[in-house]
Amino acid sequence: MVRSWFNLVMLAAESQQVISLRLMKLAMGGPKAKTEATLMVAEKVTAAGIAAGSLMRGKSTDSVVQGYRKKVQANVRRLSKG
């Protein structure tokens, strides 16, 4: 139970970091901002489909949250590079 709460709290914190990094990139405008916006929407649609499929196969909500965290952490790494 504590692990599930920890994962949810960490997902929220990590997501805020991605939001901040993305807003900075979008605020700069240009082709990179357009690419990031497109990528953001595509990632969200894909992640929602994966999450729904996982839940339908009987996976736990914690495993879905862990999956989201991996994607969010990858975005933090990618967006922090430049």
Q: Which residue has the tokens 């965290």?
A: 69
The pTM is what? 0.89
pLDDT tens readout for residues 1-52: 888 999 999 999 999 999 999 999 999 999 999 999 999 999 999 999 999 9
Nearest Cα neighbor of 51 from 23, 71, 32 is: 71
* CA distance linking residue 1 with residue 73, whole number of Å: 22
Q: Which residue has the tokens 């969200």?
A: 44
Considering only CA atoms, give the Rg of the chain.
Answer: 14
Ordered by start, the domain boundaries in the chain are 2-80
Yes or no: say if 57 and 64 are a contact pair by the CB < 8 Å rule. no
